[in-house]
Amino acid sequence: MSVTSSRPASRLDQILTLSRAQKRAALGLYLPVGYPTLSASLDALHLMGQAADILEIGIPYTRPFLDGPVIQQATAEALANGFQMGDVFMAAAELTASTSAALAVMSYWTPIEQYGPRAFAEELATAGGAAVLVPDLPETAAAGWQEATRAAGLRTITLIPPHASTAQLAAIGASTTGMAYAPATPGLTGDQSPLSPYLPRLVHRLRTATRLPVAVGIGISTPAQAEHVSGFADAVVVGSAVIRRMQALPETPVTAAAAAARDFADGVQRARRTAG
């Protein structure tokens, strides 16, 4: 596996190199900016950054086709509370200054397209962002987006489509500069179904075909599952499980997020201890 490219190493590259040297997966934690409020999301992310290797901040969007009810509710609250794109760049700048975590952004294409892809990439990079995941990037926009992210020095993360052929995976590897992102379950985010027994084989296939580090997310709902996936993936990404804890404790959502982050970090660390 290689995490290098022809461009200088990014914070994401460095994080993946470090976690690999420590014989463990990197832990990524996701939260939409603005949930449950802008200030609470920033407080939660600051604390989550003490446990996470990668902070994945979400851009709230009105039609989140990939997301289940947990994230849908969270992003709807953020939008109702007045989320603006500038909040993302402000959050990125604060988090990269106060934590050692690599900062990645997850966004659907429409908000980026409306803002301006080149302006978005440049402002995110200036704020300290390391990578971007756009799960619904249209083929017609791919070349221009790759040019914009490359010019800004951002890594790209690609969500692997179901049933992709080996040739398609090789093409993804050629155009992606950060990680391949494999779903742990076939449904929407927040799915609490058992993980597929074929997931280790899938990760191996993706790593071999794309020559990229492989992150696993979408369906990691317990620390035990994070521990299991850490045994074969390069990164484990958790989102809905953190938000679910926050929704269960609406009076203390920041404390709940921090506790969830520690629990999942402990799961990743247990995998390292078990392995070696």
Q: Which residues are catalytic?
A: 56, 67
Which one-letter DSSP state was computed for residue 62? S
Contact 92, 99 (CB under 8 A): no
Contact 102, 27 (CB under 8 A): no
Please choose, from the candidates 140, 136, 132, the residue with its C-alpha nearest in 3D space to the C-alpha of residue 66. 136
Residue at 142: amino acid letter = A
Burial-class residue 156 by CB neighbours within 10 Å (0-12, 13-18, 19+).
buried
∠ CA 15-191-232, nearest 5°, is: 40
Burial-class residue 25 by CB neighbours within 10 Å (0-12, 13-18, 19+).
buried
What SS3 state is found at 158?
A: strand
Q: What whole-number distance in Å separates Cα of residue 82 and Cα of residue 78?
A: 7
Which one-letter DSSP state was computed for residue 67? B
Q: What whole-number distance in Å separates Cα of residue 70 and Cα of residue 64?
A: 11
What SS3 state is found at 235?
A: strand
Structure tokens at 258: 């921090």
Q: What whole-number distance in Å separates Cα of residue 186 and Cα of residue 176?
A: 22
Q: What whole-number distance in Å separates Cα of residue 181 and Cα of residue 239?
A: 14
